[in-house]
Every structure is written in C-alpha cells, then in structure tokens.
Chain A
Amino acid sequence: MNLYRQLWLLILLIPGIGLAPLQADNALPKGLRVYSPGPAPVFRLSDMDNEAFALDSARGRWVFVHFWASWCGPCRKEMPAVQRMATLLEDEPLLIVMVNTSEDEDTVFSFLGSYAPDMNSLMDRDGQVTEAWQPRGLPATYLVDPQGNIRYQALGGRPWDQPEYLAFLRSLSRSDGTN
C-alpha cells in the first residue's frame, strides 16, 4: 500500500475526521452554527394545556428547541415558517419544542392563534429557563442531539420551511448524533 492510500485510510478511520461529518457540515444551511457540544440545560415546563414536558425525556431523539416571545418582531416573522416545518416533518423523529419566554397564557394563546394555530408551546413563566440557556437574542433555536448535547445554534430567525433547512433537519433527525 503506497503512502497516499495509507494516509487516506488513516483519515477515514480517525473518529470525527471521516467523510460523514464533513458532508454534514457542508450541508449546513445559512445561519446555522456548529456548537461546541455541551449538555443542554435541562428543564421541566408545562404547556398551555398544563401538560408537563421534561427535556431529558427526549433522549434518543433530536430536539428542535425554540425560544420565542410574541413581542419580538423576528419571532412573529419566523413562527409561520416553524409551523410549516413542523407539518412537513411530522413523520420524522424530530421533536419540536417551543418555549415561550415570560408571557402569560392569554398572550400566547392569542398569538399562536394568529401566527401558528397548530402549535403548542411550553410556558417559561418566569423566564428563568430561557436565562439558563443564554440565547443570543430572541428568537433562538438550538438543535439538541439524542445524547442531550446542544450541537447547533441558529442565528436569529430562519426560514425553516425552505428546502435546505428541511433537508438538513430530515438528515439530522435520522442520525444518531454520534458523528
């Protein structure tokens, strides 16, 4: 075996330098940022119907965690795209978790009724869960891998219903997150 073939074999065998992660990074849609993997801050919140959800119950699946507020202009712009994305990906094993920051049920109910009537949202009533995640601003989206680590962060609002984002999320949701 010549030196070049040995080098290529070595590159392919080193964890984290194989072809799969390179392909994944090349396909990263605009405005998504690779996050140094670290554990997502755990939380347990209730939604508008008072159904409780704990993030650590989602282990084994990719989770789209989205922080928002009705007063935030980019959130209003982005929310319909989030709902369309959720509809288009409903057969995928991606869990979509909306977290409203510091608002009350009436406000959230009214807002979602206008902008995303099919969506429900967890209620971070005192805003402390949002604070713990330290978003760059609102809206804020994180992609949490099946092991419970934050792997990607969106910069501001994104057109989640566009093909490049849908393809990325489909691909991600079918992976085990170990790449």
Chain B
Amino acid sequence: MQAPRKPHRYRLLLLAFSGAAMAAPDTPVDIRFTPRTPEQMSAFYAARGFPQPMVELLAKQCFITVRVHNRGTDTIWLDLSRWHFSARGKEVRRYHRNHWLPLWKDMGIPLAKQSTFRWTLLPEALDYQPDEAEGGNIILPWVKGPISLSASFASGPDQRGPLIRLRYDNLHCAEDKP
C-alpha cells in the first residue's frame, strides 16, 4: 500500500467582491468565488417560475457561485465535506444539497423546479479531470463580516496524490461586501 505523499499547503489571502472573481495562484486548482445578492438569486429563480415561497426562502441565504478549474495534469477530487467555513472563529455550516429536499417536499415544489435548483448547486463531490471546469452555487446561512474557508482536495487517479490545501480568509456574503 502506497503512503499518501506530503501535502501541498497554500495559504491565500484573497478578497471577494460582489460580481467579481478571484483565482488561487500557484496551485493546480483555480477557484473563483462570486457572491450573489438576494436580488440576483430571486430574479434568477423567479424568472424560471419557481414558487414564491421557495424564492423567498432562498433570498434569505448567502449564495456564492463557485467555479473550480483543474489547471493541473492530474485528477483532483472535490469533496465538499472537506470544505469548512467559519466566521469570527465559529463554524458556518454550509447547507448540504440534501438539506433542501424535505423543505421542497413540504412546500409541494414541483420536481422540475427541484431538479433545476439542484443543477444550480456545486456538486457535493466530483473528480475534476485535467483542464475540466465545473461550477455551481454553495449556500451558507447569511453571516455578516469576513468568512474563512479551509478546503482540501485529494489528487491523483486513486486519490493518493499530494493533498492540496487551500485557505481563503476574506470571503463575504454579497450584501456584506467591503
């Protein structure tokens, strides 16, 4: 059995501005964050015929569109259970996509709208092939002030390559941009 190689460590101090994107330099993983305002998300979902209670509930959350691009030559593995958000030293628990299922069921949301909603989310797990880019939204409870993210990606076809660690210390919900 091959032992995992020594992890790469990257510490990044990056600023997130509403509508802007940012990239992590010097890593095989390029992540761009774009905080979305409640107005943007409400307009997006309402324009697609989402029921009003669903739109209202989503408008209260913190949406950040995330695009992950594998710029390396090896497979990298997204696993959102390895993404940890915090603000003012306390954990901010990201809403797993399964969190919404019982809510939509209780609201009687049509399957088509539930499906579209799921496709707008970042996958919980995905093996990014070299040069592959996929994205989607992550949803956090709305918090004021800077949000930190510690994220790690396994790499290599069997996930035994170097562990890629990333840290972002100045993410924001869109309504709290500096």
Whether A associates with B in a native complex is yes
Q: Give the interface residue-count category, chain B.
A: 20 to 34
Pair B119/A126 contact, Cβ less than 8 Å: no
Q: Give chain A nearest CB distance to B156 CB in angstroms.
A: 16
Taking the complex as formed, is A177 at the interface, i.e. its CB lies under 8 A from any CB of chain B?
no
Chain B residues near A127 (CB-CB < 8 A): 111-112, 114-116, 119
The stretch from A76-84, A108-116, A129-137, A164-172 touching chain B is A129-137
Complex formed: what's the CA distance from A130 to B48 in Å?
A: 18
Complex formed: what's the CA distance from A146 to B43 in Å?
A: 43
Pair A126/B134 contact, Cβ less than 8 Å: no
Given contacts A126-B115, A127-B115, A128-B115, contact A155 B132 (CB under 8 A): yes
Q: Which residues of B contact A (CB under 8 A)?
A: 44, 48-49, 110-116, 119-120, 123, 126, 129, 131-136
Chain A residues near B110 (CB-CB < 8 A): 126
Given contacts A104-B49, A155-B129, A156-B134, contact A137 B116 (CB under 8 A): no
Pair A102/B115 contact, Cβ less than 8 Å: yes
Interface size on A, residues (CB 8 A): 22
Taking the complex as formed, is A31 at the interface, i.e. its CB lies under 8 A from any CB of chain B?
yes
Interface of A: prevailing SS:
loop
Taking the complex as formed, is A101 at the interface, i.e. its CB lies under 8 A from any CB of chain B?
yes
Pair A69/B116 contact, Cβ less than 8 Å: yes
Pair B44/A71 contact, Cβ less than 8 Å: yes
Pair A101/B134 contact, Cβ less than 8 Å: no
28 example contacts (A-B, Cβ-Cβ < 8 A) are as follows A33-B129, A69-B116, A69-B119, A71-B116, A71-B120, A72-B119, A101-B116, A101-B119, A102-B113, A102-B116, A102-B119, A103-B48, A103-B112, A103-B116, A104-B49, A107-B48, A125-B112, A127-B111, A127-B112, A127-B114, A127-B119, A128-B111, A130-B119, A136-B123, A136-B134, A137-B134, A138-B119, A156-B133
